[in-house]
Structure 1
Amino acid sequence: MSLDHLKPPGDDRSRSPSRSPRDADKVPLESMDSTLDVAKYMISCKTRCWETQALDIFRAAGFVVISEVLSEHQCQEVLSACEEVAAQIVGPEQWGNRSNRGRYSFGVASSTGSILHVPEIAGNLLVQAGLVLHPLLEEIFSKDGKADFLCYSGGGDFVLPGVKDYQFLHGDMPMAPGDDRMPPPFLSVNFCVQPLTALNGPIRLVPGKTERDWDRRQEEPPEWRSSRLFPCPAGAALLRDVRILHAGTPNWSAATRFLPSIEYISGGLRATQDEAMFPPSRCIPRGLYETLPEPIQILCRELVAEQGSEPENEDSENLKPWQSRYWHGVTYERA
């Protein structure tokens, strides 16, 4: 699949020289450290009353890591599916579509705007992991004693080996003064199907900080640049308010780093009827939808394709506005 239509015009960062995994032996010392104490933001889903502790962490930081959500077998199954999808996305030029060459978004690159049509993704992440995380999701999206949320899509990203650039720090949605932190309008649940290490491009996160906490005319603080989520075990789920400042980091390893996600929205965001976002892409085939357990069907009721039809095929000329641009701090029109 060609992604030339997604190249940011005039962006020199996407035209850097080709990279080779052989460069991975030249790792700067700064890439070996992190100012983020991951243990403070992580809890196992097998811990007693884990949901309560996880909610406290999420409220304070805007993200929380839940370990032991996926088994080793599930991680391998999802990883294999990600590799197959990536093989269809990455062209010989390796342009990428996340503002740096070699970085890709599953959702933007997919013709359905999602990866929920992939059975291994739906079965392991949407269903199995979704059921484990459901009590916490209900707490996060609770307002006035009622949980109100829907599944919006399946996405995430991957970064090829040898990518040396830091992605610019950003929030994926604006947070205006006076906006409440809870419930978040948009939640991404990223899944570690491989361990996140110092070398393979772990995501960086700035706890509790959004776009309104940073004057972009100033350089980002050094501790923010090194606030990277590692070590983080395979099988963990990162629940993240997308307004929290975050960015990609270099992948010095010899393997592609995958971080697929399931995305959820609040009932409040859905009620806005924002034409740039709604209705969402009908990305789940009817046959697959009918195999989902009832709690998951309820969350995905707007995503199911009609009987006898395929999931919506959004070609490059008919992408929704949020699919055809980068949601990462700046807007790029299609070339």
Structure 2
Amino acid sequence: MIVKVSQQELDTLTLNEETIQLAVNLIRVNGYVILEGVLPEAKVVELRTAFQEAMDWFIDKHGKEIYLNKTGFNEGTNHLGIFLPFQAPFNDPLVIEHPFALAIMDRILGKDYSVTLFSSNTSLPGGQKSQPVHPDYGARFGDLCNTHLPITDLVFNIPLVDVHDGNGPMEIWPGGTHLLPDNYYGPNGPNPEELAPHMHSIKVHMPAGSILLRDVRMWHRGTPNRGDSIRPNLALIYSAMDRDNRVQIPIETYEQMSDRAKHLFRWQKIGYPAIEPTHE
């Protein structure tokens, strides 16, 4: 569901209470919300340029043969997750601590959550098929818990180009797939691939610079990119539970971050050099 942000909210970088509550309720009921086109165009251009350079470097070093031979990444889906270096412009405050996103996440996750993924998701041209339908996380307690658990992890996406049917939009199954009992997300639960064709889904279209927040449990998949340019998303996960600490942050970078950003990345590898773009 799309939430329109007013010009006043954009100018002040502060969401009205009504906007926050609407976004929170949409995530809780439907599993996701989109704040449409909230990043400044100049910032989107800066991020897109840097991301294209990072992707070009990665393919040249790690995947040129696969890509040029048209066999495709990830079993022909040509969807590729790349861990990004924790450096400008990817660690811009409008990415890692956007006031709109944090205002919404504060209501859902409390205020002691942290970033557990600093990455990206790109649909490259030439994909031959969609990804399998899946949630991002499995069952928290295996087969032991047959009740629904609270939302503990939210994915934060920023598309760096306009997303439409032609360039590999994410397809989602909203309105319930994030509300299943915990054990349903394990290997003995319902098979999303079998159920999804009988259920309602939508393809997520949004302009560059939008913010997409979604429950990690909502079923989704990447679809083929039929265009001739990459469809990149920045992708972070904010978690009320400590799940991962693979983000490497140079100490001089960490010391220049805001107190809130330091708190968000407190469990990560502080004092390590920023990584090169790396495949997930």
TM bin, normalised by shorter chain, reads 0.7 to 0.9
Instruction: Tell me if 1:290 matches 2:255.
Output: yes
Name 2:28's counterpart in structure 1: 59
For residues 212-251 of structure 1, what are the structure 2 equivalents within 5 Å?
A: 212=184, 214-216=190-192, 218=194, 220-221=196-197, 224=200, 227-230=202-205, 232-251=206-225
SS at match of 1:288: helix
Is the CA contact (8 Å cut-off) linking 1:116 and 1:153 kept in structure 2?
no
- 1:249 maps to a residue whose letter is T
Counterparts of 1:315 and 1:223, CA distance in 2: 35
Instruction: Tell me if 1:148 matches 2:123.
Output: no
**Cα–Cα, structure 1 residues 64 and 200, in superposed 2: closer, same or farther, change >3 Å?**
same
Give percent identity, aligned residues only: 21
Counterparts of 2:105 and 2:73, CA distance in 1: 29
From 116, 121, 142, the counterpart of 1:157: 121
Instruction: Tell me if 1:256 matches 2:230.
Output: yes
SS at match of 2:86: coil
Gaps of 5+ in 2: 10-15
SS at match of 2:196: coil
SS at match of 2:95: helix
Counterparts of 2:77 and 2:194, CA distance in 1: 25
Is the CA contact (8 Å cut-off) linking 2:86 and 2:247 kept in structure 1?
no
Is the CA contact (8 Å cut-off) linking 1:141 and 1:182 kept in structure 2?
no
From 45, 48, 53, the counterpart of 1:76: 45
TM-score, length-scaled by structure 1 = 0.67
Instruction: Tell me if 1:44 matches 2:44.
Output: no
SS at match of 2:54: helix
Pairs aligned (count): 251
**Cα–Cα, structure 1 residues 183 and 315, in superposed 2: closer, same or farther, change >3 Å?**
closer
Counterparts of 2:267 and 2:193, CA distance in 1: 41
Counterparts of 2:52 and 2:44, CA distance in 1: 12
Is the CA contact (8 Å cut-off) linking 2:20 and 2:103 kept in structure 1?
yes
Alpha-carbon offset, residue 182 of structure 1:
2.5
Counterparts of 1:133 and 1:190, CA distance in 2: 10
From 126, 129, 132, the counterpart of 2:95: 126
Name 2:12's counterpart in structure 1: none
- 2:155 maps to a residue whose letter is S
Name 1:200's counterpart in structure 2: 167
Is the CA contact (8 Å cut-off) linking 1:70 and 1:235 kept in structure 2?
yes
SS at match of 2:273: coil
SS at match of 1:220: helix
Alpha-carbon offset, residue 206 of structure 1:
0.4
Alpha-carbon offset, residue 248 of structure 1:
0.5
Moved over 6 A (4+): 312-316
Name 1:310's counterpart in structure 2: 273
**Cα–Cα, structure 1 residues 240 and 315, in superposed 2: closer, same or farther, change >3 Å?**
closer
Counterparts of 1:173 and 1:235, CA distance in 2: 26
Is the CA contact (8 Å cut-off) linking 1:188 and 1:239 kept in structure 2?
yes
Is the CA contact (8 Å cut-off) linking 1:199 and 1:251 kept in structure 2?
yes
Q: Aligned Cα RMSD in Å?
A: 2.7
Alpha-carbon offset, residue 293 of structure 1:
1.4
- 1:65 maps to a residue whose letter is I
Counterparts of 1:85 and 1:119, CA distance in 2: 12
- 2:105 maps to a residue whose letter is L
- 1:227 maps to a residue whose letter is I
Name 1:320's counterpart in structure 2: none
Counterparts of 1:106 and 1:283, CA distance in 2: 14
**Per-residue deviation, residues 38-60 of structure 1 (Å, max 9, x unmatched):** xxx11134364211100010000
For residues 165-180 of structure 1, what are the structure 2 equivalents within 5 Å?
A: 165-175=129-139, 177-180=145-148
- 1:139 maps to a residue whose letter is R
TM-score, length-scaled by structure 2 = 0.79
- 1:218 maps to a residue whose letter is E
